[in-house]
Amino acid sequence: MTLEELVPCDSSKMRAVSEAVERVLVAAQRQDRLTVGVYESAKLMNVDPDSVVLCVLATDEEDEGDIALQIHFTLIQAFCCDNDIHILRVSGMQRLATILGEPEPGAESRDLHCLLVTNPHTDAWKSQGLAEVASYCAESRDKNQWVPYVCLQER
């Protein structure tokens, strides 16, 4: 049984959190607070982990067999847990590409498997969506689901 089978994608809570995740990612990208890619994310977390407020790990079913990616995810998850960084797994790579304005399939695209949202060391950037996502992550941890899951759905 997969995580996707345990957590229904069509619940109203899941839709609300999914929409909040999308708002956070779009706002972070506009404000140049989004790091995209597994290697780029690892570099940033090594240099300035205190600036990271959210880590999004994205996969679809076809990525489940990618052992190297799963190892990267395991290491990133461990680092996030050690540094009190909210972490979230999402499915829906196509939707993720759409909301981040990625080129059409076949064109050169970025590695969207790992996304980091950073926050300045000031209180200048407040986000209701980020508060919603952080609350969902905290609720999930309280239920012993250490890496919460959200399904991004095409609209």
Cα dihedral across residues 99, 151, 127, 110: positive or negative: negative
pLDDT band, very low/low/confident/very high, at 143 (cuts 50, 70, 90) = confident
User: What pLDDT is attached to residue 76?
Assistant: 93
**C-alpha span between 78 and 112 (Å, rounded):** 19
Q: What is the pLDDT of residues 9-59, one digit of tens each?
A: 657 888 889 999 999 999 999 999 999 999 999 999 999 999 999 999 999
User: What pLDDT is attached to residue 125?
Assistant: 55
Q: What is the pLDDT of residues 65-82, one digit of tens each?
A: 899 999 999 999 999 999
Of residues 103 and 40, more confidence is placed in 40
Flag whether pLDDT at 139 surpasses 50. Answer: yes
pLDDT band, very low/low/confident/very high, at 146 (cuts 50, 70, 90) = confident
Q: What are phi and psi of 151, to 5 degrees?
A: -105, 115
Contact indicator for 115, 55 with CB cutoff of 8 Å: yes
User: What pLDDT is attached to residue 23?
Assistant: 92
User: What pLDDT is attached to residue 4?
Assistant: 46
pTM for the model stands at 0.85
User: What pLDDT is attached to residue 140?
Assistant: 87
Of residues 8 and 154, more confidence is placed in 154
Flag whether pLDDT at 8 surpasses 60. Answer: no
To the nearest whole number, what is the mean pLDDT of the chain? 84
**C-alpha span between 30 and 23 (Å, rounded):** 11
